[in-house]
């Protein structure tokens, strides 16, 4: 047997071929149709020169074609690479090169951006825009599922933000990532599931209802919601873009039973939209949140509106996978701020000396996971050695997330390590934005920090020392930064100071900058 993403989804296809697999807008595909189209795309990519193990980028908004491309790549043992659709040319050039892309399936609207960087990317030999050209390619390709055996060792890569702001690819064996993100371990007992047909057998025996995925598939949480849903024979509704009212319209239309959100960034506008218009959302039974803070106040509003709702809140990272979760129901006492969860199998918190933090010690440490962990970061041995460590003869993935172990053994997540800003689930690293700011002719020095934001959790604030005689406005900074970084990284606040505080070694004093940005220092 093989714990392989394509194998598990093909088992579901064979078990429930006529069940609707994917719905996006006014289009839908059954499992059999999804399989047919993914087979055709895989054959087209192979005929275009893509070989097993090579990397195929997927660059677009949520769509049926996005799912088809991911599945097609896995079928032919290639590796799909997620591309952030918000990236501008400099970021795209870096990612396409770092990921060694040989092919790219993309929304047609991004053609000009791709054309602007392609000459510097000699490995990128095939482009396939989604639209008439995509459909012609599928029509001309063979529909057969004749790809041969696959392996547990086939590769899964997910690109996530890097410590310098540049994205980095986390490389997993497919069995390992399926164990920690794809349900291959029973998170209640810690036991591995050995029957690769378990999910498809269960799918054939019952219809588990419909799941709606709101976040873009370029992000890991949404991508694994999709992979899990397909492997388990569920019907998945994708939102092309987030709009709270459109989400509730879809819940009403499709009688959706479960909803995946990215903390308050999605949950707050969703619950507020229910106060603005009436929708029949009585089918909703569960809400799952990952990747951002889901505040107690917003949870309470959901539980007031849906008294029988089950809320699942999970913590983890691209490097560790699942680290723990908690289930919340009405009547349960809610903590006002940071999430506290039951630690999952093989989850620990390490102190600075890689000793395991004991319950109730009060020591703040780094969340980590053993067992099934990634192989490495793609093309970054130094970062790999720092993150994937061997302690006590066992290999661990150590995230940058800081946490406490409570007296009862539960884990409270304190936030991203270092000075990473988490705005609505997007990781924003200050160094990258600072570099963009310093490229402005009127900026002498700059430090970037996150400040509290009611909707997004945090927003980006710039503390800037202007050059002598220069007058800066937030509008100036906004226009300039949008030429260098994606829009969600652009500062939303500007705080002007006479001089930037730095340590003797020259490192920025981030606590000082945060005090400036939040009004603690004038």
Question: Which regions of the chain carry the CATH code 3.40.50.12780?
Answer: 5-241
What pLDDT sits at residue 505? Answer: 40
Q: How do residues 7-45 score in pLDDT, each as one tens digit? A: 999 999 999 999 999 999 999 999 999 999 999 999 999
Question: Which regions of the chain carry the CATH code 2.30.38.10?
Answer: 316-416
Question: Which regions of the chain carry the CATH code 3.30.300.30?
Answer: 423-517
Reduce the DSSP state of residue 297 to 3 states and report it: helix
What pLDDT sits at residue 415? Answer: 65
Higher pLDDT, 340 or 130: 130
Distance, in Å, from the CA atom of 65 to the CA atom of 238, rounded to the nearest integer, reads 12
Domain 5-241, architecture per CATH: 3-Layer(aba) Sandwich (3.40)
Q: How do residues 343-399 score in pLDDT, each as one tens digit? A: 988 999 999 999 999 999 999 899 999 999 999 999 999 999 999 999 999 999 998
pLDDT at 487 > cutoff 60: yes
Query: Mean pLDDT over all residues of the chain?
Result: 91
Alpha carbon separation from 67 to 34, 79, 148, 190, 216 (Å, rounded) = 9, 13, 21, 30, 11
Higher pLDDT, 484 or 126: 126
What pLDDT sits at residue 250? Answer: 97
Q: How do residues 174-229 score in pLDDT, each as one tens digit? A: 999 999 999 999 877 788 999 999 999 999 998 868 999 998 999 898 999 999 99
Distance, in Å, from the CA atom of 196 to the CA atom of 1, rounded to the nearest integer, reads 7
What pLDDT sits at residue 399? Answer: 87
Check if the beta carbon of residue 23 is closer than 8 Å to that of residue 236: yes
Q: What percent of the chain has pLDDT over 70?
A: 96
Check if the beta carbon of residue 204 is closer than 8 Å to that of residue 11: no
Dmax of the chain from CA atoms? 73
Distance, in Å, from the CA atom of 140 to the CA atom of 427, rounded to the nearest integer, reads 41
Q: How do residues 265-321 score in pLDDT, each as one tens digit? A: 788 789 989 989 999 999 999 999 987 667 777 888 899 999 999 999 999 888 999
Distance, in Å, from the CA atom of 163 to the CA atom of 421, rounded to the nearest integer, reads 11
Q: What percent of the chain has pLDDT over 90?
A: 73
- Options 1.10.3720.10, 3.50.50.60, 2.30.38.10, 3.30.70.1560; CATH for 316-416 is 2.30.38.10
- 513-520 mean pLDDT: 90
Reduce the DSSP state of residue 475 to 3 states and report it: helix
Check if the beta carbon of residue 145 is closer than 8 Å to that of residue 139: no
Check if the beta carbon of residue 199 is closer than 8 Å to that of residue 232: yes
Higher pLDDT, 424 or 4: 4
Tokens of 367: 């969340």
**Protein fold of 423-517:** GMP Synthetase; Chain A, domain 3 (3.30.300)
Residues 6 or more apart whose Cβ sits within 8 Å of residue 229: 211, 213, 235, 236
What pLDDT sits at residue 343? Answer: 93
What pLDDT sits at residue 305? Answer: 95
- 499-511 mean pLDDT: 71
Distance, in Å, from the CA atom of 95 to the CA atom of 98, rounded to the nearest integer, reads 5
Find the Cα–Cα–Cα–Cα dihedral 35, 37, 43, 44, rounded to 10°. -160
Query: Could you say which DSSP state residue 443 is in?
Result: E
Distance, in Å, from the CA atom of 372 to the CA atom of 231, rounded to the nearest integer, reads 20
- 396-410 mean pLDDT: 91
Distance, in Å, from the CA atom of 363 to the CA atom of 367, rounded to the nearest integer, reads 12
Residues 6 or more apart whose Cβ sits within 8 Å of residue 511: none
Q: Are strands 394-405 and 365-370 parallel, antiparallel or unpaired?
A: antiparallel
Of 52-56, 290-294, 495-499, the one with minimum mean pLDDT is: 290-294
Tokens of 2: 């093989």
Instruction: Return the ∠ at Cα 70 (arms to 286 and 378), rounded to 5°.
Output: 105
């Amino acid at each position: 047997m093989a714990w392989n993403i394509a194998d598990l989804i093909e088992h579901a296809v064979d078990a429930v071929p006529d069940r609707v697999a994917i719905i996006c807008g006014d289009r839908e595909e059954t499992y059999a149709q999804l399989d047919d189209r993914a087979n055709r795309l895989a054959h087209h990519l192979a005929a275009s020169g893509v070989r097993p193990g090579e990397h195929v980028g997927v660059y677009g908004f949520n769509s049926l074609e996005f799912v088809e491309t991911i599945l097609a790549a896995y079928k032919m043992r290639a590796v799909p690479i997620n591309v952030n659709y918000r990236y501008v040319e400099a970021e795209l050039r870096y990612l396409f090169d770092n990921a060694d892309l040989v092919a790219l399936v993309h929304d047609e609207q991004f053609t000009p951006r791709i054309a602007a960087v392609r000459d510097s990317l000699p490995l990128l030999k095939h482009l396939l825009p989604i639209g008439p050209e995509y459909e012609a390619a599928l029509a001309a390709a063979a529909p057969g599922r004749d790809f041969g055996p696959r392996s547990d060792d086939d590769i899964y890569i997910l690109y996530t933000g890097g410590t310098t702001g540049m994205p980095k690819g986390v490389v997993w064996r497919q069995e390992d990532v399926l164990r920690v993100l794809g349900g291959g371990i029973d998170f209640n007992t810690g036991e591995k599931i050995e029957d690769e047909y378990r999910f498809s057998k269960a799918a054939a025996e019952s219809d588990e209802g419909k799941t709606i995925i709101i976040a873009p598939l370029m992000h890991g949480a949404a991508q694994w919601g999709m992979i899990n849903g397909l492997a388990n024979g569920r019907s998945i509704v994708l939102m092309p873009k987030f709009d709270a009212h459109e989400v509730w319209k879809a819940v009403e239309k499709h009688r959706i039973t479960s909803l995946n959100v990215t903390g308050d960034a999605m949950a707050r506008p969703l619950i507020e939209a229910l106060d603005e218009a009436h929708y029949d959302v009585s089918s909703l039974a569960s809400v799952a949140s990952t990747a951002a803070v889901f505040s107690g106040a917003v949870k309470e509003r959901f539980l007031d509106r849906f008294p029988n709702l089950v809320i699942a809140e999970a913590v983890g990272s691209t490097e560790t996978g699942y680290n723990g979760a908690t289930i919340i129901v009405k009547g349960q006492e809610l903590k006002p701020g940071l999430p506290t969860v039951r630690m999952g199998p093989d989850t620990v918190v390490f102190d600075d000396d890689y000793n395991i933090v004991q319950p109730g010690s009060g020591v703040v440490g780094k969340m980590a996971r053993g067992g099934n962990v990634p192989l490495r970061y793609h093309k970054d041995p130094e970062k790999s050695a720092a993150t994937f460590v061997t302690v006590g003869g066992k290999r661990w993935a150590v995230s940058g997330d800081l946490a406490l172990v409570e007296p009862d053994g539960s884990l409270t997540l304190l936030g991203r390590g270092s000075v990473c800003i988490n705005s609505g689930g997007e990781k924003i690293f200050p160094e990258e934005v600072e570099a963009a700011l310093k490229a402005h002719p009127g900026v002498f020095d700059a430090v970037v920090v996150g400040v509290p934001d009611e909707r997004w959790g945090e927003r980006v604030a710039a503390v800037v020392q202007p050059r002598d005689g220069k007058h800066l406005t937030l509008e100036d900074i906004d226009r300039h930064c949008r030429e260098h970084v994606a829009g969600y990284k652009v500062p939303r606040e500007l705080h002007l100071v006479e001089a930037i505080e730095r340590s003797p070694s020259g490192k920025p004093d981030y606590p000082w900058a945060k005090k400036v940005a939040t009004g603690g220092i004038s």
